[in-house]
Amino acid sequence: MAGTRRRATMLLAALLVVGWLAVGALSTPYPGRLSEVATNDNAAFLPADAEATRGERLAAGFVERQTLPALVVYARDSGVTDADRERASADAARFATVPGVVAPLPPPIPSADGKALQVIVPVDNAEGDRTREVVRDLRQIAGHGSDAGQVVVVGGPAGLLGDLIEVFSSIDGPLLLVTLAVVLVILLIVYRSPVLWIIPLLAAGLSYALAALAVYFLAKNDVITLNGQAQGILTVLVFGAGTDYALLLIARYREELLRHHDTVTAMLTAWRGAAPAIFASGGTVIAGLLCLLLSSLSSNQALGPVAAVGIGATLVVMLTFLPALLLIGGRWAFWPRSPYVEHAATVGGLWKPVAHFIARRARLVWVVTTLVLVALGFGLTQLGATRLSQTELFTNRTDSVIAQEVIDRHYPGGLGSPATIFTLAGAADRVAAAARAVPGVAEVRTVPVDDPNATGSEAGPGAPGASGGPPKVVDGRVQLQATLRPPADSAEAEQTVRELRVAVHAVPEADAVVGGFTAISVDTADASTRDRNVIIPVVLGVIAVILALLLRALLAPILLILTVVLSFLATLGLCAFLFQYAFGFPGVDASFPLFAFVFLVALGIDYNIFLMSRVREESVRRGTRSGVLRGLVVTGGVITSAGFVLAATFSALAVLPLVILIELGLAVALGVLLDTIVVRSLLVPALTYDIGPAVWWPSRLSRVPNHPDGE
């Protein structure tokens, strides 16, 4: 009977492996095709109820096609020559013939110092991701025939968007290769086996292929939205979390092989022991990520479902394909350190002394570690003191960054990307006067009837100064363009827009609306603050419910949540110090705290789930304090390895030339290491040991007396 059952199980495992490998073969092309269904249109990320969104809708009535300006700058330190003027005019005529450019173009705008010319090229906003090709064509035309004394660059909102799309479109290959290399090296170090590392890496690769397949078709059919940021995070998240789950199951399987002669019995026992923790861990991450759907920013809403699909695919593969593959491999997969019952070794290694130390000094350990984390958290006051401007997103000096630097030297910073003001026609003069009184506003002009390029989406062309002709009136409204003195993507420009809104909103019977490129940044930052205040409590509540169901207690989940939040605050404090003094980053993106919280708390709680689910299992047999020590000893090695894997995979984001993804990768890596080394290894075991059985309140286990301390 036992033999028949064993053969049936092995046959089922073989069928599962063959079936999954077939799925993997079908899914293999889709990781490389994700960029086909990704969108990186900034306008698509606006909050639906923001003032800038209302400005977008009003702007649509003033033009046949909404545009995004590319700014082509011709600069010469010795002064612009007649040849430079002729060349700029000739180039403008050639720009107008590029597909995606909305003609006619306004004439080149000379700078006040006589050292630069600027051509504003309206790019059709409907081009979306094709903006990259339009900008590439403009750069090819502008770069032809430059001499040594002249600087010719293409920037502005369209140039910036083109550079961003270029980065996101090229991240797949390098990021995947770096992630694979990092995971491979760590697995070789952990297992010291020429065979075993193949199994978790193959399972993680299959998880990624399956996730890419699902995301591709969901995005193609407009069920979810994929952008470059979510695409990059999906890669490291799936490989990091997938390898973590694999390490946990493999470690439990090896442990059971030391107790059971039959590999099938060992695997079934290991699966029953590890699967609840893996499922709870994955469920926690999925629930935390789906909370991003509560965001008012579509960029945040896009990340949540994409990453959740990745974790869901990983769970399915790791709980079916991985155990089947391990079962077929049997003890041979662990060669040259194959585990046998007669060769059973004592588990624990370096973790036995740690457990003994906690048993002797539990209160001292948790008090000291808490104080250390609190001290690190004080650095949080410096985080977000400065925010990244659009041109500070890159680690290298792209053409759009260089162009903005040239524009800042020779023009009012907001030229080419003005704030757009829509007001009732009868109040236009009063609104214009109020706008001119704002210190950061260089000039205000009324859009006339005969201006064919009145405005685009985020900005419109046009030189500062008054323009002739009666104003264009649409549905009783006129449009004003306010050129800002500071660069349109700077913190100073955002403050100017805030002051501008206060000024024009105060004009009676004007119903003024301020939109434009800078206004989008203002409303995005405000929405990020709102999202942080709404989503963080929801994530904590969802995780607390999952922990309560898993541990069948209320006090333990509350304590675990508090330790992870403390770890999160300490991580942000440490990041603030490192970002400013070690890496020299100019600031952080408005979305950084929320993304860091979701990933750090959702992923950081994983290690507490792995530990405390085993502690509870051991507590039922041994008593709470003995269960804490035993749980720490048997899970210490695998959880530490899992933490290093996840930290290393997120560190792979550092290869990308985008500051926001580098900062997020470093924050998650540092936070995971803090959770693994300090919180899970010292704080949680010591706190649980000190509290004793009461930690399981109000379950019946809280009333079971402790067994004698020991492992």
Query: CB-hemisphere CA count at 13 Å for 361?
Result: 9
In this structure, what DSSP letter does residue 144 have?
A: T
**For residues 250-264, average pLDDT:** 86
Greater confidence (590 vs 2) lies with 590
- pLDDT reading at 249 higher than 60: yes
- pLDDT reading at 293 higher than 60: yes
For residues 450 and 424, give the distance between their C-alpha atoms in angstroms, rounded to a whole number: 19
Greater confidence (571 vs 65) lies with 571
For residues 440 and 379, give the distance between their C-alpha atoms in angstroms, rounded to a whole number: 32
Lowest-confidence range among 40-44, 226-230, 695-699?
A: 40-44
**What is the helix, strand, coil percentage profile of the chain, to 5?**
70, 10, 25
User: In this structure, is the dihedral angle defined by the CA atoms of residues 131, 137, 140 and 144, taken in order, positive or negative?
Assistant: negative
pLDDT (tens digit per residue) in 40-77: 655 456 666 789 888 888 888 887 777 788 899 999 98
For residues 45 and 274, give the distance between their C-alpha atoms in angstroms, rounded to a whole number: 40
For residues 342 and 460, give the distance between their C-alpha atoms in angstroms, rounded to a whole number: 79
Closest to 423 measured CA to CA, from 518, 492, 500: 500
**Amino acid at position 700, single letter:** R
Q: What is the predicted pLDDT for the residue at 251?
A: 85
Q: Using alpha carbons only, give the angle 331, 332, 338 rounded to the nearest 5 degrees.
A: 60
For residues 600 and 611, give the distance between their C-alpha atoms in angstroms, rounded to a whole number: 17
Lowest-confidence range among 35-39, 144-148, 283-287, 409-413?
A: 144-148
**% of the chain beyond a pLDDT of 90:** 25
CA 588 to chain centre: 13
pLDDT band at 414 (very low <50, low <70, confident <90, very high): low
Domains of the chain: 1-37+171-331 (1.20.1640.10), 65-167 (3.30.70.1710), 346-395+527-711 (1.20.1640.10), 418-515 (3.30.70)
Greater confidence (584 vs 82) lies with 82
- pLDDT reading at 707 higher than 80: no
pLDDT band at 468 (very low <50, low <70, confident <90, very high): low
For residues 497 and 521, give the distance between their C-alpha atoms in angstroms, rounded to a whole number: 10
Q: What is the predicted pLDDT for the residue at 466?
A: 43
- pLDDT reading at 463 higher than 50: no
pLDDT band at 458 (very low <50, low <70, confident <90, very high): very low
For residues 17 and 3, give the distance between their C-alpha atoms in angstroms, rounded to a whole number: 21
In this structure, what DSSP letter does residue 61 have?
A: T
CB-based contacts of 564: which residues, under 8 Å, 6+ apart? 600, 601, 604, 605, 608, 675, 679
For residues 400 and 162, give the distance between their C-alpha atoms in angstroms, rounded to a whole number: 9
pLDDT band at 413 (very low <50, low <70, confident <90, very high): low
pLDDT band at 688 (very low <50, low <70, confident <90, very high): very high
Write down the mean pLDDT value for the chain: 84
pLDDT (tens digit per residue) in 425-435: 889 999 999 99
Regarding beta strands 67-76 and 116-124, do their DSSP bridges make them parallel or antiparallel, or are they unpaired? Answer: antiparallel
pLDDT band at 161 (very low <50, low <70, confident <90, very high): confident
The pTM score is 0.79
**For residues 588-602, average pLDDT:** 82
Report the run of H or E that residue 76 belongs to, with start and end.
strand 67-76
Tokens of 248: 């946990």
